[in-house]
Amino acid sequence: MATTVKELKATARPKSGKGAARAERRAGRVPGVIYGDNQPPLPISVDDRDLRQRILAGRFLTTLVDVELDGKKHRVIPRDYHLDPVKDFPIHVDFMRLGEGATIRISVPLHVVKAEGSPGVKRGGAVNIVAHAIELECGVENIPQYIEADVGSLEIGHSLHLADIKLPAGVRALTAEDATLVTIVPPSGYAEEQKAAAAAAAGGAAPAAGAAAPAAGAAAPAAGAAAPAAAAKAPAAKAPAGGDKKK
């Protein structure tokens, strides 16, 4: 995942100022500057079409570039660029010069992987990316193109945190380890379905408990039925005694 080094041809800008910058743009070039590494700023210009394609391709600000200028290569990383507010094409670009063994702070995009295998997604949940990029500190030779976030084991309502991510060697995160990166959010109506299922389960258990009451009550008539039977025996015992007195 280490960043590859791209090459970019540049031309020195002998003049500075707004007038010179406008002249460069009319010629189809974008003014820029190389700075850093305890060296004086170096005004340059680059081809407008080439720069525009690189920006549109993505990851422009995380890609190492060897700027070739008058036969010499300058190892840089793009730090900023400005777009025309109306026509949306680049009007200026800044490159930071990188010395050997330099360490930089950089924002790297987060790539979510294995979402289709997530149990939560299979049950109708959706992947919600909370952080689209991670702030890192690393050597200029170890800049990752992106950081992978594996959500293949996440259930609905579960989250992936920075502490769950294994960073490449020589890369240190500047974001807090407990920062939430990705969550699996429930589908619409999920909470109501869960409540309905819980209510149905509770309602199914209630009749089973109440069914014991009629069974216990059924024993009462059986016990009461014994009383008439006992009372029927009493007159039968008294009848012979009354007959003896009449004789």
Instruction: Tell me the per-residue pLDDT of 156-206, one tens digit each, with 9 for 90 and over.
Output: 999 999 999 999 999 999 999 999 999 999 987 676 767 777 778 887 655
The reported pLDDT for the residue numbered 204 is: 65
Position 207 scores a pLDDT of 52
Return the bridge partners of 200, or none.
none
Check pLDDT > 80 for residue 104: yes
Confidence of residue 216 (pLDDT cuts 50, 70, 90): very low
Lowest mean pLDDT among 32-46, 171-185, 217-231: 217-231
Quote the percentage of the chain above a pLDDT of 70.
79
pLDDT of residue 206: 52
Give the residue from 48, 140, 145, 35 showing the smallest Cα distance to 94: 35
Banded pLDDT at 218 (limits 50, 70, 90): very low
Q: 232: pLDDT confidence band, cut at 50, 70 and 90?
A: very low
Amino acid identity of 152? G
Burial state string for 118-155 with b = 16 or more CB within 10 A and e = fewer than 16: bebbeeebebeeebeebebebebeebbebbebbbeebe
Residue 188 sits at the vertex; the CA angle it makes with 186 and 193, to the nearest 5 degrees, is 80
Q: 9: which residues sit within 8 A by CB, 6+ positions away?
A: 46, 47, 50, 67, 68, 69
pLDDT of residue 228: 45
In 3D space, the residue among 152, 227, 223, 229 whose CA is nearest the CA of residue 184 turns out to be 152
Residue 73 above 80 pLDDT? Answer: yes
- pLDDT value for 90: 95
Per the CB < 8 A criterion, the answer to whether 103 and 139 are in contact is: yes
Q: Tokens standing for 142?
A: 């170890």
Q: Indicate the SS3 state at residue 171.
A: strand
The DSSP bridge pattern shows strands 64-69 and 171-173 to be: unpaired
Provide the whole-model pTM.
Answer: 0.65
What mean pLDDT comes out for the span 134-150? Answer: 91
- pLDDT confidence band for 119 (50 / 70 / 90): very high
Burial of 27 (0-12, 13-18, 19+ CB in 10 A): exposed
pLDDT of res. 178 = 95
Does position 41 have pLDDT exceeding 70, yes or no? yes
Residue 244 confidence class, pLDDT cut points 50, 70, 90:
very low
